[in-house]
Amino acid sequence: MTIVTTMVKLFAAMILGFVLGKKDIFDPTTCKKLSKVIVSITGPALVLCSVASTDGTDPKLVMTAFVFGVACYLVLPFLGFAFAKAMRVEKGLTGTYILTILLCNNAFMGFPVVQAMLGEEAIFFTSILHFGFNIMFYALGLALVRRDASLESGEKFKLRSLLNSGTVAAILVMIIFFGKMPLPELVTAPLSFVGNLTMPLSMIIIGANMAQYSLKEVFSDKRMYALAVMRLILVPLIIYGVMTLLHMDPYLIKVATITFGMPVAALVAMATAPYEKQGKVGAVAVAFTTIFSLITIPLWAILLGV
Protein backbone atom coordinates (compact mmCIF):
# COMPACT_ATOMS: atom_id res chain seq x y z
CA MET A 1 0.00 0.00 0.00
CA THR A 2 1.47 3.35 -1.02
CA ILE A 3 1.99 6.16 1.47
CA VAL A 4 -0.47 8.34 -0.47
CA THR A 5 -3.22 5.72 -0.27
CA THR A 6 -2.58 5.20 3.43
CA MET A 7 -2.74 8.89 4.33
CA VAL A 8 -5.84 9.46 2.16
CA LYS A 9 -7.62 6.67 4.06
CA LEU A 10 -6.60 8.10 7.43
CA PHE A 11 -7.45 11.66 6.41
CA ALA A 12 -10.84 10.60 5.02
CA ALA A 13 -11.73 8.90 8.31
CA MET A 14 -10.57 11.97 10.23
CA ILE A 15 -12.68 14.29 8.05
CA LEU A 16 -15.69 12.03 8.59
CA GLY A 17 -15.13 12.27 12.33
CA PHE A 18 -14.78 16.06 12.10
CA VAL A 19 -18.12 16.32 10.27
CA LEU A 20 -19.82 13.98 12.75
CA GLY A 21 -18.37 16.06 15.57
CA LYS A 22 -19.59 19.36 14.10
CA LYS A 23 -23.06 17.87 13.66
CA ASP A 24 -22.92 16.70 17.29
CA ILE A 25 -23.50 13.09 16.24
CA PHE A 26 -20.17 12.28 17.90
CA ASP A 27 -20.34 14.55 20.95
CA PRO A 28 -17.61 14.59 23.67
CA THR A 29 -19.46 11.95 25.70
CA THR A 30 -19.70 9.60 22.71
CA CYS A 31 -16.02 10.14 21.87
CA LYS A 32 -15.02 9.42 25.46
CA LYS A 33 -16.97 6.16 25.50
CA LEU A 34 -15.64 5.02 22.13
CA SER A 35 -12.11 5.96 23.20
CA LYS A 36 -12.49 3.52 26.09
CA VAL A 37 -13.59 0.85 23.60
CA ILE A 38 -10.39 1.38 21.59
CA VAL A 39 -8.10 1.56 24.62
CA SER A 40 -9.70 -1.37 26.44
CA ILE A 41 -10.82 -3.71 23.64
CA THR A 42 -9.94 -3.12 19.98
CA GLY A 43 -6.38 -1.83 20.57
CA PRO A 44 -5.35 -4.71 22.87
CA ALA A 45 -6.99 -7.17 20.45
CA LEU A 46 -4.86 -5.74 17.64
CA VAL A 47 -1.73 -6.06 19.78
CA LEU A 48 -2.48 -9.68 20.71
CA CYS A 49 -3.24 -10.54 17.09
CA SER A 50 0.08 -9.03 15.98
CA VAL A 51 2.09 -11.71 17.78
CA ALA A 52 0.81 -14.23 15.22
CA SER A 53 2.85 -12.46 12.53
CA THR A 54 6.17 -12.74 14.40
CA ASP A 55 7.21 -16.23 13.28
CA GLY A 56 10.96 -16.19 12.76
CA THR A 57 11.46 -12.88 14.58
CA ASP A 58 14.76 -12.78 16.49
CA PRO A 59 14.13 -12.71 20.29
CA LYS A 60 17.20 -10.48 20.67
CA LEU A 61 15.54 -7.91 18.41
CA VAL A 62 12.46 -7.92 20.64
CA MET A 63 14.57 -7.36 23.76
CA THR A 64 16.45 -4.61 21.94
CA ALA A 65 13.14 -2.91 21.16
CA PHE A 66 12.03 -3.21 24.79
CA VAL A 67 15.26 -1.84 26.28
CA PHE A 68 15.52 0.97 23.73
CA GLY A 69 11.88 1.94 24.29
CA VAL A 70 12.34 2.10 28.06
CA ALA A 71 15.47 4.23 27.59
CA CYS A 72 13.55 6.63 25.35
CA TYR A 73 10.79 7.11 27.92
CA LEU A 74 13.40 7.82 30.59
CA VAL A 75 15.14 10.46 28.47
CA LEU A 76 12.12 12.20 26.89
CA PRO A 77 11.00 13.99 30.11
CA PHE A 78 14.37 15.76 30.25
CA LEU A 79 14.05 16.69 26.58
CA GLY A 80 10.57 18.04 27.31
CA PHE A 81 11.89 20.07 30.24
CA ALA A 82 14.65 21.56 28.05
CA PHE A 83 12.04 22.46 25.41
CA ALA A 84 9.81 24.15 28.01
CA LYS A 85 12.76 26.20 29.27
CA ALA A 86 13.82 27.15 25.74
CA MET A 87 10.27 28.34 25.01
CA ARG A 88 10.25 30.28 28.31
CA VAL A 89 7.04 28.58 29.30
CA GLU A 90 5.56 29.91 32.54
CA LYS A 91 5.96 27.61 35.53
CA GLY A 92 2.28 26.71 35.60
CA LEU A 93 2.58 25.08 32.17
CA THR A 94 6.04 23.47 32.31
CA GLY A 95 4.75 20.01 33.22
CA THR A 96 2.07 20.16 30.56
CA TYR A 97 4.64 20.92 27.85
CA ILE A 98 6.85 18.10 29.15
CA LEU A 99 3.91 15.75 28.61
CA THR A 100 3.46 16.91 25.02
CA ILE A 101 7.02 15.81 24.26
CA LEU A 102 6.91 12.65 26.39
CA LEU A 103 3.61 11.16 25.22
CA CYS A 104 2.98 10.53 21.53
CA ASN A 105 -0.16 9.07 20.00
CA ASN A 106 1.42 5.64 19.46
CA ALA A 107 -1.88 3.76 19.79
CA PHE A 108 -4.80 5.77 18.35
CA MET A 109 -2.75 7.00 15.38
CA GLY A 110 0.45 4.96 15.59
CA PHE A 111 -1.22 1.55 15.32
CA PRO A 112 -3.21 2.25 12.15
CA VAL A 113 -0.30 4.08 10.49
CA VAL A 114 2.35 1.39 11.04
CA GLN A 115 -0.14 -1.38 10.32
CA ALA A 116 -0.90 0.16 6.94
CA MET A 117 2.72 1.02 6.13
CA LEU A 118 4.76 -1.79 7.68
CA GLY A 119 2.35 -4.67 8.29
CA GLU A 120 1.00 -6.57 11.30
CA GLU A 121 4.44 -7.20 12.82
CA ALA A 122 4.88 -3.44 13.24
CA ILE A 123 1.97 -3.46 15.73
CA PHE A 124 3.87 -6.01 17.81
CA PHE A 125 7.05 -3.93 17.86
CA THR A 126 5.12 -0.73 18.54
CA SER A 127 3.56 -2.26 21.66
CA ILE A 128 7.02 -3.36 22.84
CA LEU A 129 8.74 -0.04 22.07
CA HIS A 130 6.05 1.94 23.88
CA PHE A 131 5.65 -0.38 26.85
CA GLY A 132 6.72 2.51 29.10
CA PHE A 133 3.96 4.84 27.88
CA ASN A 134 1.32 3.92 30.46
CA ILE A 135 3.84 3.65 33.28
CA MET A 136 5.24 7.13 32.60
CA PHE A 137 1.77 8.62 32.24
CA TYR A 138 0.46 7.34 35.56
CA ALA A 139 3.73 7.54 37.50
CA LEU A 140 4.92 10.93 36.21
CA GLY A 141 2.34 12.52 33.92
CA LEU A 142 -0.49 13.01 36.40
CA ALA A 143 1.96 14.38 38.99
CA LEU A 144 3.26 16.95 36.49
CA VAL A 145 -0.26 18.13 35.65
CA ARG A 146 -1.25 18.43 39.31
CA ARG A 147 1.93 20.34 40.05
CA ASP A 148 1.21 22.70 37.17
CA ALA A 149 -2.22 23.36 38.61
CA SER A 150 -0.63 23.94 42.05
CA LEU A 151 -2.82 21.30 43.66
CA GLU A 152 -1.98 19.88 47.05
CA SER A 153 -4.29 16.95 46.50
CA GLY A 154 -6.10 15.28 43.67
CA GLU A 155 -6.36 11.92 42.00
CA LYS A 156 -4.04 9.59 43.86
CA PHE A 157 -1.73 7.26 42.03
CA LYS A 158 -2.96 3.67 42.12
CA LEU A 159 -0.75 0.76 41.15
CA ARG A 160 -3.65 -0.96 39.41
CA SER A 161 -3.77 1.99 36.97
CA LEU A 162 -0.65 0.54 35.35
CA LEU A 163 -2.43 -2.75 34.72
CA ASN A 164 -4.80 -1.48 32.06
CA SER A 165 -5.70 -3.48 28.96
CA GLY A 166 -2.89 -1.99 26.86
CA THR A 167 -0.17 -2.83 29.36
CA VAL A 168 -1.57 -6.33 29.96
CA ALA A 169 -1.69 -6.96 26.19
CA ALA A 170 1.95 -5.88 25.83
CA ILE A 171 2.96 -8.24 28.66
CA LEU A 172 0.97 -11.10 27.13
CA VAL A 173 2.54 -10.73 23.67
CA MET A 174 6.01 -10.93 25.23
CA ILE A 175 5.01 -14.06 27.18
CA ILE A 176 3.47 -15.63 24.06
CA PHE A 177 6.48 -14.68 21.93
CA PHE A 178 9.26 -15.78 24.27
CA GLY A 179 7.25 -18.82 25.42
CA LYS A 180 6.85 -19.82 21.76
CA MET A 181 3.14 -20.43 22.21
CA PRO A 182 1.45 -20.30 18.78
CA LEU A 183 -2.09 -18.95 18.78
CA PRO A 184 -4.64 -21.03 16.81
CA GLU A 185 -6.61 -19.38 14.04
CA LEU A 186 -9.74 -19.85 16.15
CA VAL A 187 -8.22 -17.23 18.49
CA THR A 188 -6.40 -14.94 16.04
CA ALA A 189 -9.33 -14.64 13.60
CA PRO A 190 -11.76 -12.98 16.05
CA LEU A 191 -8.92 -10.91 17.54
CA SER A 192 -8.06 -9.65 14.06
CA PHE A 193 -11.72 -8.98 13.24
CA VAL A 194 -12.18 -6.85 16.37
CA GLY A 195 -8.69 -5.33 16.28
CA ASN A 196 -9.11 -4.06 12.73
CA LEU A 197 -11.81 -1.69 14.01
CA THR A 198 -9.01 0.31 15.65
CA MET A 199 -7.77 1.98 12.47
CA PRO A 200 -11.01 3.61 11.19
CA LEU A 201 -12.57 4.14 14.62
CA SER A 202 -9.52 5.85 16.13
CA MET A 203 -9.17 8.27 13.21
CA ILE A 204 -12.90 9.10 13.32
CA ILE A 205 -12.63 9.88 17.04
CA ILE A 206 -9.55 12.05 16.50
CA GLY A 207 -11.49 14.03 13.88
CA ALA A 208 -14.53 14.34 16.14
CA ASN A 209 -12.37 15.60 19.00
CA MET A 210 -10.77 18.21 16.73
CA ALA A 211 -14.26 19.53 15.88
CA GLN A 212 -14.48 20.88 19.43
CA TYR A 213 -11.87 23.58 18.73
CA SER A 214 -11.99 26.57 16.42
CA LEU A 215 -9.24 26.87 13.80
CA LYS A 216 -8.40 30.33 15.14
CA GLU A 217 -7.84 28.89 18.60
CA VAL A 218 -5.66 26.10 17.23
CA PHE A 219 -3.44 28.22 14.97
CA SER A 220 -3.08 31.41 17.06
CA ASP A 221 -0.60 30.05 19.63
CA LYS A 222 2.90 30.60 18.23
CA ARG A 223 4.44 28.11 20.65
CA MET A 224 2.47 25.35 18.97
CA TYR A 225 4.54 25.74 15.81
CA ALA A 226 7.73 25.13 17.80
CA LEU A 227 6.04 22.21 19.55
CA ALA A 228 5.05 20.68 16.21
CA VAL A 229 8.65 20.88 14.98
CA MET A 230 9.92 19.32 18.20
CA ARG A 231 7.27 16.59 18.52
CA LEU A 232 6.93 15.66 14.83
CA ILE A 233 10.42 16.29 13.44
CA LEU A 234 13.20 16.64 16.03
CA VAL A 235 12.16 13.81 18.38
CA PRO A 236 11.92 11.18 15.60
CA LEU A 237 15.09 12.61 14.04
CA ILE A 238 16.95 12.05 17.32
CA ILE A 239 15.50 8.53 17.56
CA TYR A 240 16.55 7.78 13.99
CA GLY A 241 20.05 9.21 14.53
CA VAL A 242 20.73 7.26 17.73
CA MET A 243 19.43 3.97 16.31
CA THR A 244 21.43 4.42 13.12
CA LEU A 245 24.62 5.15 15.08
CA LEU A 246 23.99 2.01 17.13
CA HIS A 247 23.52 0.00 13.90
CA MET A 248 20.11 -1.30 14.94
CA ASP A 249 17.80 -3.36 12.74
CA PRO A 250 16.48 -1.27 9.78
CA TYR A 251 12.90 -2.47 10.27
CA LEU A 252 12.98 -1.55 13.96
CA ILE A 253 14.39 1.87 13.06
CA LYS A 254 11.44 2.49 10.74
CA VAL A 255 8.87 1.46 13.36
CA ALA A 256 10.49 3.53 16.11
CA THR A 257 11.03 6.64 13.98
CA ILE A 258 7.46 6.68 12.68
CA THR A 259 5.77 5.93 16.01
CA PHE A 260 7.88 8.35 18.07
CA GLY A 261 7.03 10.93 15.41
CA MET A 262 3.30 10.69 16.11
CA PRO A 263 1.38 13.77 17.32
CA VAL A 264 0.73 14.52 20.99
CA ALA A 265 -1.27 11.73 22.65
CA ALA A 266 -4.98 12.32 23.14
CA LEU A 267 -4.42 11.24 26.74
CA VAL A 268 -2.63 14.56 27.34
CA ALA A 269 -5.83 16.45 26.58
CA MET A 270 -7.81 14.13 28.85
CA ALA A 271 -5.32 14.48 31.74
CA THR A 272 -5.22 18.29 31.58
CA ALA A 273 -8.95 18.81 30.92
CA PRO A 274 -9.91 19.45 34.59
CA TYR A 275 -7.62 22.52 34.73
CA GLU A 276 -8.37 25.64 32.67
CA LYS A 277 -4.90 26.83 31.54
CA GLN A 278 -3.38 23.38 31.28
CA GLY A 279 -6.50 21.99 29.61
CA LYS A 280 -6.42 24.56 26.83
CA VAL A 281 -2.73 23.90 26.09
CA GLY A 282 -3.26 20.13 26.15
CA ALA A 283 -6.28 20.22 23.84
CA VAL A 284 -4.75 22.65 21.34
CA ALA A 285 -1.45 20.71 21.32
CA VAL A 286 -3.26 17.50 20.38
CA ALA A 287 -5.29 19.19 17.64
CA PHE A 288 -2.38 21.23 16.22
CA THR A 289 0.15 18.39 16.04
CA THR A 290 -2.46 15.99 14.65
CA ILE A 291 -3.16 18.37 11.76
CA PHE A 292 0.52 18.87 10.96
CA SER A 293 1.28 15.15 11.28
CA LEU A 294 -0.67 14.66 8.06
CA ILE A 295 2.32 16.35 6.41
CA THR A 296 5.21 14.99 8.50
CA ILE A 297 4.17 11.32 8.57
CA PRO A 298 4.27 10.97 4.76
CA LEU A 299 7.61 12.83 4.71
CA TRP A 300 9.09 10.41 7.25
CA ALA A 301 7.71 7.46 5.31
CA ILE A 302 9.34 8.72 2.12
CA LEU A 303 12.67 9.42 3.85
CA LEU A 304 12.64 5.95 5.43
CA GLY A 305 11.75 4.29 2.14
CA VAL A 306 8.49 2.81 3.41
Domain count for the chain: 1
Give me the percent of the chain exceeding a pLDDT of 70: 90
Highest averaged pLDDT of the listed ranges 249-253, 274-278, 288-292: 249-253
Specify the 3-state DSSP secondary structure of 261: coil
Does residue 273 register a pLDDT over 90?
A: no
* Mean pLDDT on 244-250: 96
* φ, ψ dihedrals at 152, nearest 5°: -80, -30
**DSSP string covering 72-120, please?**
HHHHHHHHHHHHHHHTT--HHHHHHHHHHHH-B-TTTTHHHHHHHHH-H
239 conformational bin, left if phi > 0, alpha if psi -120 to 50, beta if neither: alpha
Q: ∠ CA 126-128-129 to the nearest 5 degrees?
A: 65
Q: What is the pLDDT of residues 68-81, one digit of tens each?
A: 999 999 999 999 99
pLDDT-wise least confident of 114-128, 137-151, 223-237:
137-151
- Note whether 209 and 31 are within 8 A (CB): yes
Does residue 234 register a pLDDT over 70?
A: yes
- Note whether 121 and 54 are within 8 A (CB): yes
**Cα 27 from Cα 246, distance rounded (Å):** 46
Q: Which of 175, 257, 252, 264 is nearest to 218 (CA)?
A: 264
Q: What is the pLDDT of residues 174-205, one digit of tens each?
A: 787 777 777 788 888 888 898 888 778 878 88
* pLDDT given for residue 172 in this prediction: 81
Q: Which of 265, 277, 251 is nearest to 73 (CA)?
A: 265
The more confidently predicted of residues 274 and 73 is: 73
- pLDDT bucket at 153, cuts 50 / 70 / 90: very low
The more confidently predicted of residues 54 and 90 is: 90
Find the Cα–Cα–Cα–Cα dihedral 156, 162, 165, 169, rounded to 10°.
180
In our burial notation (b when 16+ CB lie closer than 10 A, e otherwise), range 185-219 reads eeebeebbebbbbbbbbbbbbbbbbbbebeeeebe
Find the Cα–Cα–Cα–Cα dihedral 161, 35, 301, 77, rounded to 10°.
-30
Q: What is the pLDDT of residues 1-33, one digit of tens each?
A: 567 777 788 788 889 988 999 999 988 888 878
Does residue 213 register a pLDDT over 80?
A: no
Residues of the domain holding 121: 3-304
- pLDDT bucket at 222, cuts 50 / 70 / 90: confident
pTM of the model: 0.80
Give me the percent of the chain exceeding a pLDDT of 90: 32
CATH of the domain at 160: 1.20.1530.20
Does residue 145 register a pLDDT over 60?
A: yes
- pLDDT bucket at 160, cuts 50 / 70 / 90: low
* pLDDT given for residue 151 in this prediction: 46
* pLDDT given for residue 152 in this prediction: 38
pLDDT-wise least confident of 39-43, 86-90, 194-198, 239-243:
39-43
* pLDDT given for residue 53 in this prediction: 62
* pLDDT given for residue 2 in this prediction: 65
Does residue 166 register a pLDDT over 80?
A: no
**Cα 224 from Cα 239, distance rounded (Å):** 21
- Note whether 239 and 259 are within 8 A (CB): no
